[in-house]
Amino acid sequence: MHYLSDEKVKFLEEKANDIRQSIIEMLLEAKSGHTAGPLGMADVFTLLYFHALKYDPKNPNQEDRDRLVLSNGHICPVLYATMAHAGYMPVEELKTLRKFGSRLQGHPHREFMPWLESSSGPLGSGLSQTVGMALAERIDKGRMSEKTFYCLTGDGELDEGNNWEAIMLASKEKLHNLIAIVDRNNIQIDGYTEDVMPISPLVEKWEAFGWHVQDVDGHNFEMLAEAIGKAKSVYDRPSVIIANTIPGKGVKEFQWDPAWHGKAPNKEEADMALKELRTLGGQIRSEHE
C-alpha cells in the first residue's frame, strides 16, 4: 500500500499543483479565507485522497469507507479543492467559496455537504470527535474493523487542552485504527507557534501519551505513504504522523510568513502565485519525461 512508483509520484505532484492553483483561484474569488495552511497541506490531502483513503465519491456514504475529520476547519479550501478534484463536486463550484448560499462555507458544515464526516471550526474538537467515531466502530463491529479513522489537526491547535484529553483516551483504548496527522507548519494566526505557546518537543510528548509516532516531511509523497503504511501495521496503540510542512508551499512570497495564515491574495498577488505554480507544474512534467 505504501509503495509509490515513479509514475504515481508524478501523478501526485501534478495533482497537488492543480489543487494549489484551485486554492488560489477560490480564495481570490472569495476575497477572504486562509492561504498558508491550505497550500502547505495540499500534498498531504493529495496523498490521502489519491492514494490512501478508501472512498467512493459516487457513493459517499458507503458503510466501509474510511473516515476523515478535518479538525482545523479553517484550512477547508484544501479539503474542498481536493474533494472536487477527486470527483465529489464540480471543480467550478470551488469559486463559490464563502459566498451567500454556497455549500462551501468558510468552515466545513456537514448539513450542507453530507459527505463530510463532521462540521468543524472550533479548534481542538476534531480529535475528540474522531476518537468517539473509532470507539463507536469498535462497539458496533469489534476490533477487526477494516476502517481507518483519520484526524487532521494544526500544530497551533494543540494549544487546546481538550486535544490532550482525547490523546489520553485514544491511548487507553488502544485505538489502533486511528491515525492523527499534525500539520507542523510552525505558524498560527498570532505568529510563530513557539513564540505564542511553545509545543515542542512534539515527538516526545505524543510518545509519552502512548502513541506510535512518526516525524516526516509533509511534502514527500514516498515518506507520507510509508508512514501511513507503518501506522496501519500497528495494532496495540493509535498512531500520529507529524507532517512537517511549509506554510504557503509553492508560492515563495507566501512561504513561512504568519501574515498569510488568515488572509486571501488580492488580484496582483493571485496572478503572481498562479504564474509561479503553473511554471512549477511545467517543471514537474518535464522532470518526469
Percent of the chain with pLDDT over 90: 92
62 part of a folded domain: yes
CB 27 within 8 A of CB 277: no
pLDDT in the model for residue 158: 97
- The rounded distance, in Å, linking the Cα atoms of 18 and 114 is 25
Q: Is the pLDDT of residue 21 over 90?
A: yes
Tell me the residue range of the domain where 66 lies: 6-287
270 part of a folded domain: yes
163 part of a folded domain: yes
165 part of a folded domain: yes
On the question of a cis peptide bond just before residue 60, with omega within 30 degrees of 0, the verdict is no
pLDDT in the model for residue 211: 98
Nearest partner of 19 among 77, 82, 108, judged by Cα: 82
CATH of the domain at 70: 3.40.50.970
pLDDT digits (tens, 9 = 90+) for 202-224: 999 999 999 999 999 999 999 99
pLDDT in the model for residue 3: 77
pLDDT digits (tens, 9 = 90+) for 103-157: 999 999 999 998 999 999 889 999 999 999 999 999 998 777 889 999 999 999 9
Q: Is the pLDDT of residue 10 over 70?
A: yes
- pLDDT tier for residue 2 given thresholds of 50, 70 and 90: low
41 part of a folded domain: yes
Total count of domains within the chain: 1
263 part of a folded domain: yes
1 part of a folded domain: no
Task: Tell me the three cell numbers of residue 280.
Answer: 512549477
- The rounded distance, in Å, linking the Cα atoms of 68 and 78 is 13
212 part of a folded domain: yes
